[in-house]
Amino acid sequence: MNNILRIAIQKSGRLSEDSLKLIKECGIRFDNGAGKLKTSATNFPAEILFLRDDDIPGYVEDGVAHLGIVGENVSEESDRDVNTVHKLGFSKCRLSIGVLREHDYSGVQDLEGKSIATSYPKLLGKYLSENNVTAQIHEISGSVEIAPSIGLADAVCDIVSSGSTLLSNGLKEVETIFKSEAVMIASKHLTAEQQQLLDQLLFRIKSVQVAKNNKYILLNCPTNAVDEITKYLPGMKAPTVMPLATEGWCSIHSVINENDFWENIEKIRLAGAEGILVIPIEKMIL
Ligand code: ATP
Ligand code: ZN
């Protein structure tokens, strides 16, 4: 089993769907029949283990799984000896401190001597000691947000994405202590073959991620507008410019980055582009 990659992903939860999607987008096919704990890929030397996210860092440290997909929050809190090999860009959230809305909070020193309920005692403890605050950490494993309203703690330290859970429990977010997204973690004891398979997988993941950040664009424009328009469309090497059957007109093909998409589209249109088509890219090999 030295030449197979065992990849641990969350069995059911917020990471599951995107983890499965990423593996599939990398061209790895497998049967994920409901309720399965393990499955083998049919076209790549890999097995997928379906686990609780909290167990994944430990399995990867022990080498039972060679790779794992988890939130950085879980990986950091576990403090396991693993390598974080790539950020995956999904399940973005933050670990924040919340206090009751009516609390007149003026800064982290307000937490001195207070009790804080959390499922993240290590990350919270580190944050408090970095800020020279001594507080009582009350470790609970779920439904942390209700702790202040039932008198269990003065504050909470929990995962937040929109903040609506805090709000609906009468809390306000006062400090962000950690920003998280899904990451790929790897065992420190991979064989040479496994490292090679990991490199192949990372190459595929990066190609999928770059493709998601770019779109293929086609447009027509008067020949005298080509120089102005191509300033906004550098392409992978250079844009393709072809003459149209209509005299004095060209077609330009290129890629456009998602980040400044609307701003550049506007400039291109003002420069004289017509019939602009924008198409998603499935993979991009740079
Ligand atoms: P398990 O049963 O596997 O232990 P869980 O209940 O601990 O699951 P989930 O709620 O499924 O965990 O969250 C998994 C991870 O998704 C979290 O550790 C965090 O990294 C991320 N996450 C949590 N809440 C959100 C959110 N609201 N938006 C985006 N990502 C989130
Ligand atoms: Zn969990």
- What digits encode the pLDDT tens for the residues 100-132? 999 999 999 999 999 999 999 999 999 999 999
Q: In the CATH hierarchy, which fold is given to the domain comprising 213-280?
A: Alpha-Beta Plaits (3.30.70)
Q: What is the pLDDT of residue 1?
A: 64
Q: Are 7 and 68 in contact (CB under 8 A)?
A: yes
Q: What is the CA(92)–ligand 1 centre distance, in A?
A: 10
Burial class (CB in 10 A: 0-12, 13-18, 19+), 34: exposed
Q: What is the mean pLDDT of residues 172-201?
A: 97
Structure tokens at 264: 């550049």
Q: What is the pLDDT of residue 37?
A: 92
H or E element: which one contains 183? strand 182-186
Q: What is the pLDDT of residue 235?
A: 85
Q: What is the CA(158)–ligand 1 centre distance, in A?
A: 11
Q: 5-90+181-211 falls under which CATH superfamily?
A: Periplasmic binding protein-like II (3.40.190.10)
| Whole-angstrom distance, CA of residue 261 vs CA of residue 255 | 10
Task: Report domain 93-180's class.
Answer: alpha beta
Atom of ligand 1 nearest to the CA of 161: 27
Which residues have their alpha-adjacent CB atom under 5 A from ion ligand 2?
Answer: 53-54
So where are the chain's domains? 5-90+181-211, 93-180, 213-280
Cα distances (angstroms) measured from residue 197 to each of 7, 12, 133, 186, 194: 11, 26, 45, 12, 5
Q: Are 229 and 271 in contact (CB under 8 A)?
A: yes
Q: What is the pLDDT of residue 253?
A: 96
Q: Indicate the average pLDDT of the chain.
A: 95
| Whole-angstrom distance, CA of residue 31 vs CA of residue 22 | 15
Tens digits of per-residue pLDDT, 33-53? 777 899 999 999 999 999 999
Q: Which residues touch 105 (CB under 8 Å, ≥6 apart)?
A: 99, 172, 174
Q: CATH topology of 5-90+181-211 equal to that of 93-180?
A: yes
Tens digits of per-residue pLDDT, 135-158? 999 999 989 999 999 999 999 999
Q: What is the CA(93)–ligand 2 centre distance, in A?
A: 14
User: What's the pLDDT band for 234 if we cut at 50, 70, 90?
Assistant: confident
pTM equals 0.91
Q: What is the pLDDT of residue 242?
A: 97
